Amino acid sequence: MTTEFQTLKMRKSGEWAGFAIFALMGGFATAYGVMVPVFRQRFDLDIAQGGLIFAVAGASAFAGIAFGTWSVSKMSARLAGAWGAFSMALGAVLIAVAGSWSATLIGVVFVGLGFGGADATISQFASNGGSAKAVHRTNILNASFALGAVLVPLLINFAIKTDFTLVVSAIGFTFFLVGVIFFKNVSGRLFHEKSREKPQGHRFVFFLLLIGISFYVGVEAGVGGWIPTYLIEKGMTPTMGAYAVALFFSMLTIGRVFSSRVTKFISPAWLAAYAHFASVIALLMIFFTPWTFFSIAVLGLVCAPVFPSVLVWAVRITPGDPRTAGFFLLAAITGGTFSPTLMGYLMRYFGTESFPLILIPPALIGGLIFLWAIRQNVKEHIDLD
Residue 133 covered by a domain: yes
What pLDDT score does 365 carry? 92
Residue 191 covered by a domain: no
Residue 104 covered by a domain: yes
CB-CB contact of 324 with 138 (8 Å): no
Helix (H) or strand (E) holding 5: strand 2-5
With b for 16 or more beta-carbon neighbours within 10 A and e for fewer, the 55-91 pattern comes to bbbbbbbbbbbbbbbebbbeeebbebbbbbbbbbbbb
Write out pLDDT tens, residues 37-89: 778 777 877 777 777 888 888 889 889 988 888 877 777 778 888 899 999 99
Give the Cα separation of 224 and 220 in Å (integer): 6
Residue 379 covered by a domain: no
CA 131 → CA 122, 138, 187, 330, 384, distances in Å? 16, 10, 21, 23, 6
High-pLDDT (> 90) share of the chain, % = 23
Domain total of the chain: 1
Write out pLDDT tens, residues 309-318: 888 888 888 7
Contacts of 85 (CB under 8 A, 6+ apart): 21, 24, 114, 118, 175, 176, 178, 179, 182
Give SS3 for 186. Answer: strand
Other Cβ atoms less than 10 A from the Cβ of 191: the count is 12
Residue 382 covered by a domain: no
Residue 384 covered by a domain: no
**In 129-254, beta strands by DSSP E:** 186-187
Helix (H) or strand (E) holding 203: helix 202-233
What pLDDT score does 267 carry? 78
Q: What is the mean pLDDT of residues 156-166?
A: 77
CB-CB contact of 64 with 117 (8 Å): yes
3-state SS, one letter per residue, for 101-161: HHHHHHHHHHHHHHHHHHHHHHHHHHHCCCCHHHHHHHHHHHHHHHHHHHHHHHHHHHHHH
Residue 4 covered by a domain: no
Write out pLDDT tens, residues 337-355: 778 778 888 888 888 888 8
Q: What is the CATH number of the domain that holds 307?
A: 1.20.1250.20
- Lowest mean pLDDT of 146-155, 177-186, 195-204, 372-381, name the range: 195-204
CA 263 → CA 182, 259, 269, 295, 308, distances in Å? 29, 6, 9, 24, 11
Contacts of 58 (CB under 8 A, 6+ apart): 112, 333, 334, 336, 337, 338, 341
Which has the closest alpha carbon to 318: 242, 264, 381, 365?
381
Which has the closest alpha carbon to 227: 208, 249, 206?
249
Contacts of 170 (CB under 8 A, 6+ apart): none
Give the Cα separation of 197 and 381 in Å (integer): 10
High-pLDDT (> 70) share of the chain, % = 90
Which has the closest alpha carbon to 58: 119, 116, 11?
116
Residue 300 covered by a domain: yes
Give the Cα separation of 205 and 287 in Å (integer): 34
**How many alpha carbons lie under 13 Å from residue 66 in its C-beta half-sphere?**
7
Q: What is the mean pLDDT of the chain?
A: 82
Strands ordered across the beta sheet of 186-187: 2-5, 8-11, 186-187
> Residue 313 belongs to what domain range?
13-186+196-374
- Sign of the CA dihedral with 256 first, then 259, 260, and 266 last: negative
Write out pLDDT tens, residues 260-308: 677 667 778 888 889 889 999 999 999 898 899 999 999 999 998 898 8
